[in-house]
C-alpha cells in the first residue's frame, strides 16, 4: 500500500507534454487540448508513462535515461505515436522524463508501468479527465 502523502503527490503533480504551447495535465481536470491531440492521432485514449525512478526511489540521470530509452524502444516497436514530456512537482522539486503515449489501451499502459516498476500511471479517455491509476 502506498503512503497517502505519495498518492497525494501524484495527484497534485503536473504532467507536462512538450507541445507548443506546453500542455499541462492535472489529475481530475479535463483538457480540451489533450482531447484534440488524441483525436488528431486518430485515437481515443492516451497514457502518461515514465520509466524513471522506479517505486519513487531516486535514480541517477544516466540510469533514468537508460530506462527511458528502453521504454522508447517498446513504444516505437508497438507503433504508438507519442510526445515527450515530464512529470513534476509544481514547485520543481521532483522531475521525471516521461512520455504521452497515444492510442494505447489501458491494460497495455498498466503493463508498461509495472514493467518499469512504477507505482502509478496516468490514463486518459478522450472527453474525460486524466485519471491516476495505482498499479499496486
**Contact present, 130 and 48 (Cβ < 8 Å):** yes
Q: Residue ranges per domain, the chain?
A: 4-134
pTM: 0.96
pLDDT digits (tens, 9 = 90+) for 83-115: 999 999 999 899 999 999 999 999 999 999 999
CB half-sphere exposure, 131, CA atoms < 13 A? 14
pLDDT digits (tens, 9 = 90+) for 19-64: 888 999 999 999 999 999 999 999 999 999 999 999 999 999 999 9
Backbone angles phi, psi at 128, to 5 degrees: -120, 165
Amino acid at each position: 500500500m502506498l503512503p497517502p502523502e505519495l498518492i497525494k503527490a501524484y495527484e497534485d503533480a503536473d504532467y507536462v507534454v512538450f507541445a507548443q504551447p506546453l500542455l499541462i495535465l492535472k489529475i481530475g481536470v479535463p483538457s480540451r487540448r489533450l482531447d484534440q491531440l488524441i483525436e488528431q492521432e486518430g485515437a481515443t485514449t492516451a497514457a502518461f508513462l515514465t520509466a524513471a525512478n522506479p517505486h519513487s526511489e531516486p535514480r541517477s540521470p544516466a540510469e533514468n535515461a537508460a530506462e527511458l530509452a528502453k521504454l522508447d524502444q517498446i513504444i516505437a516497436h508497438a507503433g504508438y505515436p507519442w510526445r515527450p514530456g515530464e512529470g513534476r512537482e509544481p514547485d520543481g522539486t521532483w522531475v521525471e522524463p516521461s512520455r504521452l503515449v497515444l492510442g494505447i489501451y489501458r491494460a497495455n499502459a498498466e503493463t508498461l508501468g509495472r514493467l518499469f516498476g512504477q507505482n502509478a500511471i496516468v490514463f486518459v479517455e478522450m472527453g474525460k479527465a486524466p485519471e491516476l491509476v495505482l498499479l499496486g
